[in-house]
Amino acid sequence: MDKSFLVNEIKRLKTERDACILAHNYQVPEVQDIADIVGDSFALSRAAAKINKKIIVFCGVRFMGESAKILSPDKKVLIPSKYAGCPLSDSITAKQLQAMKSKYPDAAVVCYVNSSAEVKAISDICCTSSNAVKVVESLKEDEVLFVPDENLAGYVAEKVNGKHIIPWPGHCITHARITVEDLVKTSEEHPEAEVLVHPEVSEEIRESSDFVGSTSQIIDHVHKSSNTEFIIGTEIGVLHKMKKDNPDKRFYLMSPRLVCENMKMTSLESVYRCLLNMQYEISVPEYIRKKAENSLEKMLCIE
């Protein structure tokens, strides 16, 4: 379908349906460009909690749409691709978390927002990659179960003193594709470049980088930095805003394999069909939603 037809139809349907389009920083450029708000998981959760439109179209993956529904239960939340999931989120079930909790009955439970509504419902508090350190610091318990990302857990353990962090062995398959050879090669090719990575990368990559942050924190860092060259260790989607906002700076993706297939399932055409056919609606059973909301609201109070 013709791009200008899709863009015009999306704008028309958005007004007609009273919808707001949220897009994660990992979405393809043309989807970011038609969104009302583009951001990281934290910014989008905060936005979803405050939206005053009837419909939220969430361009991201399923757990993000679920978080929007949990925080805005009176809104209809749609995701353009019903298959856009997150293997990291799927790496732990509520049953597995329950078993872990029984082994550590005194521990606080922190779940990364990349988790199902059921896992959020039996956690004490949620976190995103931008606030995980602050969330863990806010807890009174010394022992913390941190699920499901072991790399983010390791990063938090490094930054927070006096807490015993017990990770779940899950990770993001996209960030796990970066090898040390990729880092060495890009650094040799661009010796002046600053190395910026997401905390979902492995410890060995994180330790050799100059800056660790969420997608929006990386984008902000680039904008404020006096450097002109950057090696980027996160999903390719972040390059769009960086290039748009900083035409004089140069960006090198640490690996060409930094493409999340799930995030790339959403296209302009699927956003158009989403608004046209009002598909695919996210629903969360109320008894789970209420408990999951508690974990998300606690996180939102921290910043």
Does 215 show up as a binding residue in the annotation? yes
**C-beta of 259 vs 278, nearer to ligand 13P:** 259
**Cα–Cα distance, 275 to 46 (Å, whole number):** 23
Q: Which of 32, 129, 151, 186 binds ligand 13P (CB under 6 A)?
A: 129
**C-beta of 13 vs 152, nearer to ligand 13P:** 152
* CA 95 from centre of chain: 23
**C-beta of 40 vs 118, nearer to ligand 13P:** 40
Q: Least distance in Å: CB of 174 to ligand 13P?
A: 8
Q: Least distance in Å: CB of 98 to ligand 13P?
A: 24
Instruction: For residue 237, give the DSSP letter.
Output: G
* 116: contact with ligand 13P by CB under 6 A: no
Helix (H, G, I), strand (E, B) or coil at 213: coil
* 40: contact with ligand 13P by CB under 6 A: yes
> Which residues lie across from 229 on neighbouring strands?
250
Q: Least distance in Å: CB of 253 to ligand 13P?
A: 16
* 214: contact with ligand 13P by CB under 6 A: yes
**Cα–Cα distance, 164 to 35 (Å, whole number):** 40
Q: Least distance in Å: CB of 266 to ligand 13P?
A: 13
Q: Which of 27, 67, 91, 114 binds ligand 13P (CB under 6 A)?
A: 114
Q: Which of 91, 123, 130, 295 binds ligand 13P (CB under 6 A)?
A: 130
The full DSSP string for 54-113 is SEEEEES-HHHHHHHHHH-TTSEEE-S-TT---HHHHT--HHHHHHHHHHSTT-EEEEES
Q: Write the CB contacts of 50 (distance below 8 Å, at least 6 apart in sequence).
A: none
- Which residues sit in the known binding site for iminosuccinate? 24, 41, 112-114, 129, 198-200, 215
